[in-house]
A and B are shown apart, each in its own frame.
Chain A
Amino acid sequence: MSILEIKNLSIEFGGLKAVDDFNLSLEEGEIIAIIGPNGAGKTTIFNMLTGIYAPTKGSIELNGESLLGLKPYQFAQKGIARTFQNIRLFAASTVIDNVKMAYTHQCKESFFECIFRTPKMVEEERKIDERAMDLLKAFDLESKADILAKNLPYGAQRRLEIVRALMLEPKILLLDEPVAGMITTELDDMAKMVRELRDKLGLTVILIEHHMNFVMPIADRIKVLNFGETIAEGSADEVQNNPDVIAAYLGGGYKNVITNA
């Protein structure tokens, strides 16, 4: 049984079809990439999958449960976590607080326990702290735990965004251009990290990316969008050689770039 089932997902903005009949069936542990030209509707799909936009039609089912009509925070609580194209960290908070913030709905302390700082609350707080610390350690950020997120280097910020999403204990992770603005070495690190997420945590990953050097080796399946419609779907090889994809997205010089790089 698939973990996420998206059927005929469509959305219109002022009569304009931004996404039209998008279908996706995700197996647990899959890494899927959505590629396509700018304005093809990729981020819009992410926004529908996280409840920011309500689709005009179609269905989203997570483990057989429909998520339509829920608020964004409820999508997150159900287990769909995401990162953002333009990094959206809690910039003025420390690294560890960023991670702990994502655990809010799982914290059990009540309001009065909090403002009077009861022993129970302190104990609970310590557990959360340890949990966050474990995650940071796993992603090589533990030495930075107490510095402000905005003072992290760019690559580390991207990493922190993923760590923060993991604190939600998600089933599905959506990565929106995770390697934008990264150089090759950083790009390789990220690819390794995404694979580990799948292998060690069993996470299912959907990613949007223009960097073909990153997408092609990592994705189990690739969906190509243009003007809101799916124009191709398949493995990296299939997609790369699809004439429609080359015409609409990859372009003629693409092979040249990717082989040299």
Chain B
Amino acid sequence: MSSRMLDVKDLAVSYGMITAVKGVSFNLDEGEIVALIGANGAGKSTILRTISGLERAKSGSIQFLGKELTKMPAHKIVEAGIAHVPEGRRVFPRLTVKENLMLGANIVKERSIIQQRLERTYLTFPRLKERQAQLAGTLSGGEQQMLALGRALMTGGKLMLLDEPSMGLAPIIVEDIFRIIKEINEAGTSILLIEQNAFLALQTASRAYVLETGLISIEGKSSDLLKDDRVRESYLGA
């Protein structure tokens, strides 16, 4: 039996005058991969940024493992177990790969645990081990995405928020990344995924929510959505 991990209720977020998210509810169970799909500007990234505390909710609630996140500062949310891989990778360009990874373990005190996680990350991304002394800014886009994922793994989060992991990447790399995402999930990390490529998202996730201009318009199992006419027309191009 899986239990409820994340429960978002009536979440609304605004920047200045513009309301980007207008009252969105969704949830995620432990061990699941849930996808949010929708056009650019639908408010997907804003939702993730609000969950991880980078933006403040105007109203609504975000419950994570029984804790309310809307009032919590971002660094506490990381400690609570949420690892956010932001849009555009956002690795620290003038730090080495290893320094980037070590920052991922910023909240961990015990050296042994850090070492253990580092080894596990290197096992998942052998490429990162090869490049550990290289500055992150000199990595290719695909490698940076791996580093961003690796860094999130280092936080030891129980829920990973992935924002457009395929953005701007070559198809072959995208394939690789999504294989790893599934691996990470199978190893016990739940995943909330934002993905432009709706087909890829629906193939990876068990359930999905479709966002349109700040509201959820369609939700359901991925297999159902793949057959849904509206989804097919707007997002799958059939």
What residues of chain B lie closer than 8 Å to A260, measured between beta carbons?
A: 199, 236
Number of interface residues of A (CB under 8 A): 33
What residues of chain B lie closer than 8 Å to A177, measured between beta carbons?
A: 168
Residues of B125-176 contacting chain A, CB below 8 A: 140-142, 164, 167-176
A185 at the interface (CB under 8 A from B): yes
What residues of chain A lie closer than 8 Å to B168, measured between beta carbons?
A: 38, 85, 177, 180, 210
B38 at the interface (CB under 8 A from A): yes
CA distance A124 to B68 in the complex (A): 60
What residues of chain A lie closer than 8 Å to B171, measured between beta carbons?
A: 210, 212, 249-251, 253-254, 257
Interface string of B181-224 (1 = CB under 8 A from A): 00000000000000011111000000000000000000000000
CA distance A182 to B37 in the complex (A): 11
Indicate which residue in A183, A213, A251 contacts B175 across the interface (CB closer than 8 Å): A251
What residues of chain B lie closer than 8 Å to A212, measured between beta carbons?
A: 171
Interface pair B237/A184, CB less than 8 Å apart: yes
What residues of chain B lie closer than 8 Å to A69, measured between beta carbons?
A: none
Given A39-B141, A251-B175, is A153 in contact with B41 using a C-beta cutoff of 8 Å? yes
B233 at the interface (CB under 8 A from A): yes
Residues of B24-52 contacting chain A, CB below 8 A: 37-41
Nearest chain B CB to A66 CB, angstrom units: 32
B235 at the interface (CB under 8 A from A): yes
Given A85-B168, A184-B237, A185-B234, is A38 in contact with B196 using a C-beta cutoff of 8 Å? no
Interface pair B170/A37, CB less than 8 Å apart: yes
Indicate which residue in A36, A151, A155, A184 contacts B170 across the interface (CB closer than 8 Å): A36
What residues of chain A lie closer than 8 Å to B142, measured between beta carbons?
A: 37-38
Interface pair A39/B172, CB less than 8 Å apart: no
Interface pair B172/A249, CB less than 8 Å apart: yes
Nearest chain B CB to A211 CB, angstrom units: 8
Residues of A174-201 contacting chain B, CB below 8 A: 177, 180-188
A1 at the interface (CB under 8 A from B): no
Interface pair A155/B40, CB less than 8 Å apart: yes
Nearest chain B CB to A17 CB, angstrom units: 15
CA distance A140 to B175 in the complex (A): 36
What residues of chain B lie closer than 8 Å to A188, measured between beta carbons?
A: 237
Interface pair B234/A181, CB less than 8 Å apart: no
Interface pair B236/A261, CB less than 8 Å apart: yes
A154 at the interface (CB under 8 A from B): yes
What residues of chain A lie closer than 8 Å to B238, measured between beta carbons?
A: 261
A252 at the interface (CB under 8 A from B): yes
CA distance A134 to B173 in the complex (A): 42
Residue of B nearest to A257 (CB): B199
CA distance A213 to B236 in the complex (A): 10
What residues of chain B lie closer than 8 Å to A186, measured between beta carbons?
A: 39
Given A37-B142, A257-B199, is A250 in contact with B172 using a C-beta cutoff of 8 Å? yes
CA distance A113 to B37 in the complex (A): 53
Can you report 10 A-B residue pairs in the complex whose CB atoms are below 8 A from each other? A37-B142, A38-B142, A38-B168, A39-B141, A155-B39, A177-B168, A185-B237, A250-B172, A251-B174, A253-B175
**Other than the known A154-B39, A181-B167, A210-B171, what 9 A-B pairs have Cβ atoms closer than 8 Å?**
A37-B142, A38-B170, A182-B39, A182-B196, A186-B39, A247-B172, A251-B172, A251-B173, A254-B171
Top-6 shortest CB links A-B: A38-B141, A251-B172, A184-B237, A39-B140, A154-B40, A37-B170
